[in-house]
A and B are shown apart, each in its own frame.
Chain A
Amino acid sequence: MVEIVQATRRHPLQAGQLDVASVSVTLADNATRISLRARDNAVSALSKALGITLPMKPKTSASNGGRAVLWLGPDEWLIIDNADSAVVADLAKAKVLNSAVDISHRNVGIIVAGKGADAVVNGGCPQDLSLKAFPVGAASRTVLGKIEIVLWRTGEDVFRVECWRSFSNYAYAFLQESARDVAI
């Protein structure tokens, strides 16, 4: 007797209904975000104002409480903090040449957490996400499918994906689809 296997048909607008237990794709809380650009000679003053030493090594981040600074480029950082953060006022105290742009509403954060979270992100991100190459705390601008994201590993099985808000529907649906593929 031949067994006929019928693929389950999914509605394309089913994002948000991830019926998977092993890994979750959820929205991050609203946050304050700053795009910070500065030259080497301003780094120490900015670090002091922020209360965090700006990371200078590629693909790294530094954090203090709820406030985190992600290295994006040799003169570029992304600061993520709680929604009610005083980071803008803190940065204003540094009297050195820098550019701090509030991009809180430009980005949307998505949290991928659980078993196989790395495989979920790898469904659309070509970087090596093994713990050796991308340890806890690692952060990088990269790609997910056809969009650009900032990826930050906050735990062994936890990733924060930051994307621009107009791409957020795409990123959210993409990650959910990927999660269905790697789910137990």
Chain B
Amino acid sequence: MLLIKCPYCEEERPELEFRNAGEAHLVRANPIIEQSDDDFAGFLYFRQNPKGLQFERWRHIHGCGRFFNAVRDSVSDKFLTVYKAGDPRPDIDTLLSPAAAEPEPPATKRPRAKKVEV
């Protein structure tokens, strides 16, 4: 099971508590009446759906209930980062730089399934 970090709960939670909510950073035109039909159709229907890194909205629906944004690789399913709704789009190059990469936890520190004493 994927563990997804919720920026409001400030910790990783099982993916079953989350819902994907489509592409992030879609901005409704204002005033929308002046937008051409083609542009409006683009806003309403057409999504990037890239192979690779994408900006997505997620909702911690069975947790704190909040929408937030995430950068996820659609090939590997790896989440690069999560950030609160309304926060600016993070810079991909900075995220991908080796300095920003979080070190993998050492094998011994990996959380293990708790053995139940019965």
Interface residues in chain A, defined as those with a beta carbon under 8 Å from any beta carbon in chain B: 22, 58-59, 72-74, 76, 115-116, 118-119, 126-130, 140-143, 148, 182-184
Chain A CB within 8 A of B63 CB: yes
Asked if B16 is an interface residue, CB under 8 A from chain A, the answer is yes
Residues of A within 8 A of B66 (CB): 73-74
Q: Which of B6-14, B25-33, B45-53, B69-77 contacts A (4 or more CB under 8 A)?
A: B6-14
The interface size bin for chain B is 10 to 19
- Is A127 a contact of B65 with CB atoms below 8 Å? no
Q: Which residues of B contact A115 (CB under 8 A)?
A: 117-118
Q: Is the CB of A182 within 8 A of B116?
A: yes
Are B8 and A140 in contact (CB-based, < 8 A)?
Answer: no
Question: Which residues of B have CB within 8 Å of A184?
Answer: 118
Contact between chains at A58 and B17 (CB < 8 Å): no
Query: Bound complex: CA of A126 vs CA of B66, how far in Å?
Result: 19
Bound state CA distance, A29 and B5, in angstroms? 35
Q: Which residues of B contact A143 (CB under 8 A)?
A: 16-17, 62
Q: State the CA gap A93–B27 with chains docked (Å).
A: 41
B111 within 8 A of A: yes
Question: Does B95 sit at the interface, judged by CB under 8 A?
Answer: no
Q: A58-B8, A128-B111 are in contact. Are A74 and B1 (CB under 8 A)?
A: no
Assess the A74–B62 pair: CB atoms within 8 A.
Answer: no
CA distance A71 to B116 in the complex (A): 28
A119, B116: Cβ atoms under 8 Å?
yes
Residues of A within 8 A of B9 (CB): 58-59, 140
* With contact pairs A58-B10, A115-B118 given, residues A141 and B63 touching in the complex (Cβ less than 8 Å): yes
Q: List 7 tightest A-B contacts by C-beta distance, closest first.
A: A126-B14, A73-B64, A119-B116, A58-B9, A73-B65, A143-B62, A148-B62
Q: Which of B1, B64, B114 contacts A141 (CB 8 A)?
A: B64
14 new A-B contacts, CB < 8 A, other than A58-B64, A118-B114, are A72-B64, A74-B64, A115-B118, A119-B118, A129-B114, A140-B9, A140-B63, A141-B62, A142-B63, A143-B62, A182-B116, A182-B118, A183-B118, A184-B118
- Residues of B contacting A22 in the complex (Cβ-Cβ under 8 angstroms): 118
How far apart are the CA atoms of A141 and B64 in the complex, in Å? 7
Kindly report which residue of chain A lies nearest to residue B114, judged by CB atoms. A130
B116 touches A73 (CB 8 A): no
| In the complex, chain A residues whose CB is within 8 Å of the CB of B64 | 58, 72-74, 76, 141
